A = this chain, B = another copy of it.
Amino acid sequence: MIGALKDRIRSAGLRVTASRVAVLELLNQTDRPLNHLEVTESLAHSTWDRATLYRNLMDLTEAGLLERVSLGSTWHFEAQDPDHASAHPHFVCTECGTVECAPEVTVTPSKKRIGPKSIRRGTVQVQLHGLCDDCV
């Protein structure tokens, strides 16, 4: 379990440190993207510095083990593993800021060939901003 995480970190060319394992394990156990603050709070029992966890998140992202996405007003990080489907839409509550995955939504460009080409190409991250069920 954790051994597999260590292997993936090492295979990515990064040294295996306790904080990196903890960060990767946390995000693999969570079914939604977390931001830097949420990660530090989730690992508050330990003594790792904000900057350390920040660099862990950035290093793991650059190594391809996480994905960083701008959700709402902060950057969020999501595990990038074979299980979790790769690019899928996300929902952001404009009231409380909570984030959840919304893989069931599909986006259709118009027939007119206008706007950025990446939309037609399908290489875009989709976000839906609105009130969550708790905030309506």
Contacts and interface: CB of A to CB of B under 8 A. Distances in A.
A91 B118 CA distance: 10
How big is chain A's contact interface, by range? 35 or more
Q: What's the number of copies of this chain in the assembled complex?
A: 2
Interface string A46-77: 00000000000000000000000110110100
Nearest to A68: B94
Contact of A100 (B94, B104, B116): B116
A118 to B, nearest CB: 4
A126 B126 contact: yes
Interface of A: 69-70, 72-73, 75, 91-94, 100, 102, 104-110, 112, 114-119, 123-133, 136
